[in-house]
Homo-oligomer: A and B are copies of this chain.
Amino acid sequence: MARVVVITPNPAIDVTYRVDVQRLGETVRVVDATRRAGGKGINVARVLHALGRPVMAVQPLGGASGGWIDDELAAAGIDTVSVPTGRETRTTVAVVDGRSHPTLYSEPGAALDDGVWRALESAIVEHCGPQDILVIAGSFPPATTALQVASLVAAGTSAGALVVVDASGEALVAAADAGADILKPNESELLEATGTSTLDAGLAALFARGAGCLVISRGSAGLIGASADGDRVAQDGVPGVSGNPTGAGDAATAGLVAALADGLPLPEALRCAAITGAAAVLAPIAGVIDPADLPRLAARLDGGSFPLALPTAYPPTPR
């Protein structure tokens, strides 16, 4: 089975603080604190693992927080290559009170030394083969250059892997310039990165730069797939799913990639993405899915079945 190598350039410990009422300028008692290894790529790797796929999570990590992430991924049974950075891995803090929008404090993270970038490229070359898929997902550390983004894409391409990039801003543009096979921003990231105001203009801008295929996630509205030669596929979202949308885009990426790894064509892969994303919305913890939800979500979407073989042991190790 094709392996998926997932690069998370700027991982984090994602902390969630539940509080009674959000307030500014006061001491706010945290009712409950939860921590998990985060960053889009790590979320993608976690869902691929839940889908029973061979996955290798590759990320720069440092300090006590980096060690904590390493331990958490190991406890989840996910194969990892962690490149030591010598700097404390960042944290994000989401404050939720169940009444209003969460407040998210996002540390920028530390810039990576040249040696770390080279080690990430080496890990790609070592672990990616011609049948494999390389996913590069999430934010990049401060001071990342377009060349550094392009070098990761090039390492995957030269290894013969299919390269999928879920990024935003300058990194998304750099990945298009580097000829990534599939770019998967959401709609607002596409418009922001390209400075355009319509989906068509955004797609055209990235195709002009060298992107092979674009998959645009649109939340509950589903996904759109577009190729440089003008083909366009629209996939509806699963209707009537409500819950926690955080991490649903990452689960959709995992569903897309798992289907592509099985050799399914893009329309069927988009359908898997929509179903897997909906499963993440249903699950109480952000970015986690229960594979047992997938067959009935597939039936609700269009009366069909979920096309991928699923692991027989439900549920996956709870985290």
* Interface set of A (CB-CB < 8 Å, partner B): 15, 17, 19, 22-30, 33, 35, 63-65, 67-68, 71, 88, 90-91, 93, 95, 100-108
Q: What is the bound-complex CA distance between A67 and B28, given in angstroms?
A: 26
* Identical subunits present: 2
**Are A25 and B107 in contact, CB atoms less than 8 angstroms apart?**
no
Distance of A319 from chain B, by nearest CB (Å): 14
Measured CB to CB, the nearest residue on chain B to A35 is B88
**Are A33 and B64 in contact, CB atoms less than 8 angstroms apart?**
no
**Are B64 and A100 in contact, CB atoms less than 8 angstroms apart?**
no
Q: What is the bound-complex CA distance between A107 and B22, given in angstroms?
A: 14
**Are A105 and B28 in contact, CB atoms less than 8 angstroms apart?**
yes
Q: What is the bound-complex CA distance between A107 and B301, given in angstroms?
A: 42
Contact of A28 among B26, B28, B29, B106 (CB under 8 A): B106
Measured CB to CB, the nearest residue on chain B to A68 is B64
Q: Which residues of B contact A88 (CB under 8 A)?
A: 35
**Are A33 and B104 in contact, CB atoms less than 8 angstroms apart?**
no
Using known A-B contacts A63-B68, A64-B71, A88-B35, determine if residue A28 contacts B107 with beta carbons closer than 8 Å.
Answer: no
**Are A102 and B28 in contact, CB atoms less than 8 angstroms apart?**
no
Q: What is the bound-complex CA distance between A28 and B27, given in angstroms?
A: 18
Q: What is the bound-complex CA distance between A129 and B88, given in angstroms?
A: 39
Measured CB to CB, the nearest residue on chain B to A26 is B103
Q: What is the bound-complex CA distance between A17 and B106, given in angstroms?
A: 9
Contact of A30 among B67, B68, B95, B105 (CB under 8 A): B105
Q: What is the bound-complex CA distance between A35 and B104, given in angstroms?
A: 18
Measured CB to CB, the nearest residue on chain B to A66 is B64
Q: What is the bound-complex CA distance between A22 and B63, given in angstroms?
A: 28
**Are B100 and A25 in contact, CB atoms less than 8 angstroms apart?**
yes
Q: What is the bound-complex CA distance between A107 and B91, given in angstroms?
A: 15
Using known A-B contacts A30-B108, A35-B88, A108-B29, determine if residue A23 contacts B103 with beta carbons closer than 8 Å.
Answer: yes
Show 11 residue pairs from A and B whose CB-CB distance is below 8 angstroms, ordered by the A residue: A17-B107, A22-B24, A22-B25, A23-B24, A26-B101, A28-B103, A33-B107, A63-B68, A64-B64, A64-B68, A93-B105
Using known A-B contacts A25-B100, A88-B35, A100-B25, determine if residue A107 contacts B68 with beta carbons closer than 8 Å.
Answer: no
Q: What is the bound-complex CA distance between A33 and B93, given in angstroms?
A: 12
Contact of A103 among B24, B63, B68 (CB under 8 A): B24
Q: Which residues of B contact A107 (CB under 8 A)?
A: 17, 30, 33
Q: Which residues of B contact A28 (CB under 8 A)?
A: 103-106
Q: Which residues of B contact A26 (CB under 8 A)?
A: 101, 103-104
Q: Which 4 A-B pairs have the closest CB atoms?
A: A25-B101, A64-B68, A64-B64, A27-B104
**Are A106 and B22 in contact, CB atoms less than 8 angstroms apart?**
no
Measured CB to CB, the nearest residue on chain B to A93 is B93
Q: Which residues of B contact A29 (CB under 8 A)?
A: 106, 108
**Are B100 and A95 in contact, CB atoms less than 8 angstroms apart?**
no
Q: Which residues of B contact A100 (CB under 8 A)?
A: 24-25
**Are B64 and A19 in contact, CB atoms less than 8 angstroms apart?**
no
